[in-house]
Structure 1
Amino acid sequence: MVSVEKWTMWDSAVEVDVTEGAASPAARALTAAVVADTEAVCDLGRGAAEIHAVNLAQGTPVKVTHRMGDLLRSALWAARMTNGVVNPLADNFSEDESIPPIHAAVTFEDVQLDGDVVFAPWGASFDIAGIAKANTVDRAARSVAATLQCGAAVRIGDVIATAGHAPAGGWQMSVPAGGAARLSGGGVVELVNGTAMATAREPAGSSWAPRSDRSSGQWVQVSVIAADAVWAYAAAEAARLSGGLEWLEQQRLRARLVDRFGRVHTTGDWFTPQAR
């Protein structure tokens, strides 16, 4: 019997499921602590968040905490894996493309991270909330499973990770609604224990959103199952923005995509739990 705790943190719905009912309160406390730890260092809405010191450095090396360094490494790794489509740098764009930029554009490849010291050139400004939440999901699931010796599934928003031992019947996870299944939900898919799933959606108001958030392809929603939440999140966002079904097949990822006409497409092994 899986016990479930749900609440809201960091502007997101948070959920932790555990295979041992007695572990549920402690699992909630552990998960909340991990979320709070991450939010405190990288939430741009917090004036005291460490990420502001990184963004204000502007060409000066700055020493960061272990947690901040871990989050930046995840963000830079995701950028490399998606060829920069999932970008850790904020897009300081202008709607008037006839106005040339004052300085050369900075990319994630210009950022250097050596141990606990990060160097980003002038003009770089990090916004890593999405990847940070995915990293937090992975970390919280592992922490709950290891500390409480139970199976755990942790969700923040549309990103979920599993760890420990699976419940009887496996981890049966609901997929966010989209496409032809919109009225009844996106169905249920089984996650192999220790894997993760993320869903990327086209943001509301995309006509005025930064270019990095605008969909340039045919997909309005993409769900991806991967070995961890960071990769699932990065792959889902990359596929929604530019990669698509063929790219996901090349990466050997289980995926479900919804196109602009509401039609649902899946990779060949979407319904095969053994696939990783």
Structure 2
Amino acid sequence: MAPSSVWKMWGSEVEVRVTEWAALADAAALTEAAMTQVKAVCDLGSGDAEIHRLNQAQGTPVRVSTELGGLIRAALWAARMTGGAVTPVSIETRDPIGAVPIAPCFHDVRVDGDTVFAPFGTFLDLTATAKAGTAHRVARRAADDLECGVLVRVDDVVATWGHCPIGGWQVETGVARRAGGADRVEVRAGSAMASARAPAVSSDGPDPGVDCVTVIADDGLWAYAAAMAAVGRGVAALRWLTENDLAARVAYRHGSVRTTDAWLHLPPHGHAA
């Protein structure tokens, strides 16, 4: 088993695995530093995070740091790729003084160099996409700097870089990990995996049919966004994943599991265990 370190930060469980024992402490330190830097910029729970200045601007263009600008661009890219199913924009439905409905969307947010414009009523939350993107970036940086194989997991987003350990990177899906199960997938080096689970069905709400979606992609942000978007599509999840040529597995509430053709055609070192 590859050497590993697990800890909690920013409301998430973070795990780092390496192929060389001597690299574990440095890989964990690099990961923690990267997460801390991103958290300082966009953590909504931190009063001095830079994102608050943008959210308080309400229709006024704001110059932002390179870090925040990059996180916003990444989140808007995920929104475009998923048709808005995964979006950084939260909406305030009424203005502060009256009853004028406001419905901005991600298309209304513009980034020009280091200046960001978000219309009145827009509230940006980059938390999920920032974590997913950071997992992939830090895995690559740590593997390159330390010259070994590295896996970084932030909750249900897993990213790998460098060479694999003997037997490959065996990773439990998010659902299996929380349930104490043994559902493992082998994630090939240089790729990412994300799992998303449908919310609990309310007594008066429709049953989406889908229980969990797992996606393997070349990028942690895309794997996360695709899994979340597919879950939101319910019974149409598999069709959307297939149309986007994604390697994915869909578990349904009634117990059946289906996969896309791309999942079936993954290389031998990226198959379901």
Structure-1-length-normalised TM-score: 0.87
User: Which structure 1 residue ranges, 4+ long, deviate > 3 Å from structure 2?
Assistant: 91-94, 181-184, 203-208, 214-217
CA distance in 2, matches of 1:36, 1:273: 34
Q: Are 1:191 and 2:187 an aligned pair?
A: yes
- 2:263 pairs with one of 247, 266, 270: 270
Q: Are 1:135 and 2:126 an aligned pair?
A: no
In the other structure, the counterpart of 1:51 is 51
Would you say the 8 A contact 1:191–1:273 is kept in 2? no
CA distance in 2, matches of 1:66, 1:215: 42
Would you say the 8 A contact 1:216–1:241 is kept in 2? no
CA distance in 1, matches of 2:202, 2:99: 22
Q: 1:59 to 1:91 in 2, by over 3 A?
A: closer
In the other structure, the counterpart of 1:238 is 229
Would you say the 8 A contact 1:16–1:155 is kept in 2? yes
Would you say the 8 A contact 1:190–1:273 is kept in 2? no
In the other structure, the counterpart of 1:247 is 240
Number of residue pairs the alignment of both structures matches: 264
CA distance in 2, matches of 1:28, 1:216: 40
CA apart distance, 1:40: 1.0
Alignment of 1:1-276 (within 5 A): 2-92=2-92, 102-177=100-175, 185=181, 187-203=183-199, 217-242=208-233, 244-270=237-263, 272-274=265-267
Aligned residue for 1:59, secondary structure, equals coil
1:66-104 CA distances to partner (integer Å, 9 max, x unpaired)?
Answer: 11111101100000001111111014469xxxxx96134
CA distance in 1, matches of 2:11, 2:102: 34
CA distance in 2, matches of 1:233, 1:76: 14
Would you say the 8 A contact 1:133–1:156 is kept in 2? yes
CA distance in 1, matches of 2:156, 2:93: 27
CA apart distance, 1:216: 7.8
Unaligned runs of 5+ in 1: 95-99, 209-213
CA apart distance, 1:274: 2.0
CA apart distance, 1:249: 1.0
Would you say the 8 A contact 2:91–2:102 is kept in 1? no
- Please give the root-mean-square deviation of Cα atoms over the aligned residues, in Å: 2.7
Q: 1:43 to 1:262 in 2, by over 3 A?
A: farther
CA apart distance, 1:140: 1.2
Identity of aligned residues (%): 48
Structure-2-length-normalised TM-score: 0.88
Would you say the 8 A contact 1:245–1:267 is kept in 2? yes
CA apart distance, 1:267: 1.8
1:185-206 CA distances to partner (integer Å, 9 max, x unpaired)?
Answer: 3622222211100111234687
